[in-house]
Chain A
């Protein structure tokens, strides 16, 4: 239920490897729950959120700040991907116990506003495969309808970073997950990367897909639904 949702942006987010803190990290909305993780907030992230929210901000400032926030979400999202131990030798001849990320991931953006997040993913993972799904509301029935989907062939074997900046009603994302499921992707391997979510959207999502991981920066009943228009300058 929305009433059990903690205040926006204030929660500590620790990465998946630190399971002892998981109770503080995850927000459970009722019995069936998606795992919602919020990026650890700080003054700078709050500042970016403020600029994105401000109706008087210029477009260039908006895009610049949105890109910064997107990059932070992408970087955090990559932390959720599987990795293994890896030891290397440094130029000084010493050993260093490191880690290496496993192959077999891909990104999927929901057109149009999800495309705003593609560049940040590309800048973090140079050769990652990126699929696209176009979903629009049918003007007569007002239901989300899939117009186009182009996904990597072996997507069923991959962990999918699904990108969509604003989760409001949740209908668009539900439709996209349906498409992924049709292509053999199971919920456990879907990570939704988003900037702003509503408690209602999370409710809708979790009642249908409790195993999906959602990463966001803020949960708030009001979300900046003008994001795509302002980002692409079509407002």
Chain B
């Protein structure tokens, strides 16, 4: 008779929020479903931002600035906790905050994703509308806390997808990565001390209880076709006691109480301003720091330079020559890349391996002793080295990371990532055509580490590097193996390698 109001209410919210979409690892997809993102400009935003929206995802043309310092250490994400009674307008407030912040690296994490998996008996009760979803015990606080902690540390996390028809977690999970600001929202978000500790700012949305009931009635009756008794029964039995017992007492923990929810523009502006101030304090001018660090130091032991044979020197001469046409440039760079990758592969761990030969003898050989191998290229120029990797490896899995330099700030910005799943035990060959300051390479390494790849399992492979870039990467990530065909001494004021071979991507693709 009385269908499960609470459940479907939550289900609706889930489907429009952090649990939505496929399980793809899309950067900051949580904000992709925002209904409107206003063009309101805030004084603190220096870079104009535009968003291309498709059905499934939003593509941002302003990327994520560095979220780590020149030691490669993470700057923690800023976490805003949002609490308030059911139907108090937390979602609206969250959306308004994102709108006011007006930058893409914001993820929205809902506590609804962390409902416990129900036993068959509990499932029965839920079917009869007798299971209390508005109770502290209904949530898996442990997992919730662990997930939020990792997200705050900048790690990639798997968000469970709760299925309200079976009351179990779906097989697939949603991957969330790349947050500078996390908005954590839920009716019980201030209840546990260990969760509260993770929140940098606690906002309580305080809407009058009559107003909340009125909203609930309106929503459930007009939009869901429920009857009045059913909704009231639910409200009186679970929702109202829960608010009084668990939620209302947590108001004391709030830094800011927002009356009237999403319509309170003054409060939302204040929150956004505070977040800006906090984020600005964490910013630093990374690239110029990098360009001047470590000059004159001996080159690190993790650097491996391909032996400078006559052929390697000859190819370098052709690539560096400004009068070399694109045809030759492409041909000879490919040859050099192949030699580079053969060299890089020889640095992977191997173990003895004995085989039988057709000549009926035993041969003491070698084989790769790692768990797996995958490649990740740094777009755009990194894409040019992919074919060479394919020519020396069979069926290798390949990820891509798009990093662009913001022309105003000269800082690298992360725009897009697609990293193969389950790479935490793999050796990863991270590829870019050239490494100048090392800023983009460091960002890409940071992305891999955030995906739990082991630092010692990363090989940064590049045709040409500048000394300062080598130092920066080695200083921040001393276990990463750095592999190249030559290290040039200098960078000019535009951070180009000197003598170098010009802009590799432009010469390769003919866009100079």
Contacts and interface: CB of A to CB of B under 8 A. Distances in A.
Nearest to B359: A222
Contacts of B310: 15, 17, 78-79, 81, 83, 99, 101
B322 A222 contact: no
A90 B317 CA distance: 9
B367 A90 contact: no
Given A61-B394, A90-B320, A79 B309 contact: yes
Contact of A98 (B317, B342, B346, B497): B317
Interface string A73-91: 0011011010100101111
B392 to A, nearest CB: 6
A231 to B, nearest CB: 13
A64 B394 contact: yes
A44 B355 contact: no
Interface SS of chain A: mixed
A15 B309 contact: yes
Interface residues on A, range: 35 or more
B392 A91 contact: no
Nearest to B309: A79
Given A86-B317, A88-B320, A89-B321, A68 B392 contact: yes
A96 interface: yes
A56 interface: yes
Which of B314, B331, B348, B496: most chain A Cβ within 10 A? B314
Interface in B462-512: 492, 496-503, 507
B339 interface: yes
A225 B317 contact: no
B229 interface: no
A41 B26 CA distance: 43
A91 B512 CA distance: 11
Interface string B412-444: 000000000000000000000000000000000
Interface in B353-394: 353, 355-359, 361, 363, 365-368, 392, 394
A119 interface: no
A99 B314 contact: yes
A50 B322 contact: no
A157 interface: no
B226 interface: no
B351 to A, nearest CB: 9
A42 B338 CA distance: 16
Contacts of A142: none
B313 interface: yes
A52 B361 CA distance: 13
B384 to A, nearest CB: 16
A92 interface: yes
A181 interface: no
Interface in A114-163: 123-124, 126
B278 interface: no
A91 B507 contact: yes
A73 to B, nearest CB: 12
A98 B320 CA distance: 9
Contacts of B365: 46-47, 49-51, 53-54
A229 B345 CA distance: 28
A45 interface: yes
B506 to A, nearest CB: 9
Given A72-B342, A91-B507, A99-B313, A50 B363 contact: yes
B389 to A, nearest CB: 12
A79 B316 CA distance: 14
Contacts of B498: 92, 94
Given A54-B355, A61-B394, A95 B499 contact: yes
B335 interface: yes
Contacts of A94: 498-500
A69 to B, nearest CB: 10
B357 A222 contact: yes
B309 A90 contact: no
A86 B357 CA distance: 47
Contacts of A225: 359
A101 B367 contact: no
Contacts of B350: 43-44, 46-47
A98 B316 contact: yes
A61 B395 CA distance: 11
Contacts of B496: 92
A61 B331 CA distance: 26
B372 to A, nearest CB: 15
Contacts of A76: 309
**Which 6 residue pairs of A and B lie closest in terms of their CB atoms, listed nearest first?**
A50-B365, A98-B317, A91-B502, A43-B350, A88-B321, A42-B346
Interface of A: 15, 17, 40, 42-47, 49-51, 53-56, 61, 64, 68, 71-72, 75-76, 78-79, 81, 83, 86, 88-92, 94-96, 98-101, 123-124, 126, 222, 224-226
Interface of B: 307, 309-311, 313-314, 316-318, 320-323, 331, 335, 338-339, 342, 345-346, 348-350, 353, 355-359, 361, 363, 365-368, 392, 394, 492, 496-503, 507
17 contacts: A44-B350, A45-B346, A46-B350, A47-B368, A54-B355, A54-B363, A54-B365, A79-B309, A90-B320, A90-B501, A92-B502, A94-B498, A94-B500, A96-B499, A98-B317, A98-B318, A99-B314
Given A53-B355, A54-B365, A56-B356, 8 more contacts: A45-B346, A68-B342, A88-B323, A91-B501, A96-B317, A98-B316, A99-B313, A126-B331
